[in-house]
Amino acid sequence: MKAFFSYLLISLVLLQTFSREVLVVDFTLNRATITARFCVNKARPQLHCDGKCYFAKQLKKQEERENKSAGPLKERLEMLPAAFSCWQAAPTRPACRPAPSYAVLVPGRYAAPLAAVFRPPLG
C-alpha cells in the first residue's frame, strides 16, 4: 500500500513538473483530431496552421495557471526584504590573516640525511 502511494505521489509531482511536455506530446499524438475539431483557420489552408493556434492557446492557459499558483508565494517572498529592513546585522570586518610561510627545502638541511633513511636491506 505504501508503494502504491509513493508511486502515485511521484507520478503527480512529475506530471506537474513536466506539464508543458505533456501538452506537447498530446498535441503531436492528436494533431489530426485537434486540427479537425479546434483549428480556427480551417477555411484558410494556405496558412498551414494545423492546430498550432489551439496549441498556443493551451500553452498560454498553462502559463497563466502556473503564474496564478505561484503568485501568492512570489508576493510573500518579495515582502520579506521590506519586513526586515529595520533589522541590520553587525558589520563584519574581513579577518586579515598573515600569509602562510613555507620552509624552503634546501638539499642537505634535513633532520636526517637521506642515506641514513633509505638504504638497502641487509643480507
7 pLDDT band, cuts 50/70/90, is: very high
pTM over 0.75: no
Q: How many domains does the chain fold into? A: 1
pLDDT of residue 4: 93
Number of residues assigned to the chain: 123
Residue 59 lies in a domain: yes
Place of cell 641514513: 116
Please write the tens of the pLDDT for every residue from 82-101: 545 444 555 566 556 666 66
Residue 96 lies in a domain: no
Query: Cα(12)–Cα(23) distance, rounded to whole angstroms?
Result: 15
CA atoms of 25 and 48, how far apart (whole Å)? 20
Which pLDDT tens digit goes with each residue over 37-58?
888 777 777 777 888 888 888 8
pLDDT of 20 above 70: yes
Are 67 and 80 in contact by the 8 Å Cβ rule? The answer is no
* 79 in a structural domain: yes
Q: Which domain holds residue 61?
A: 2-83
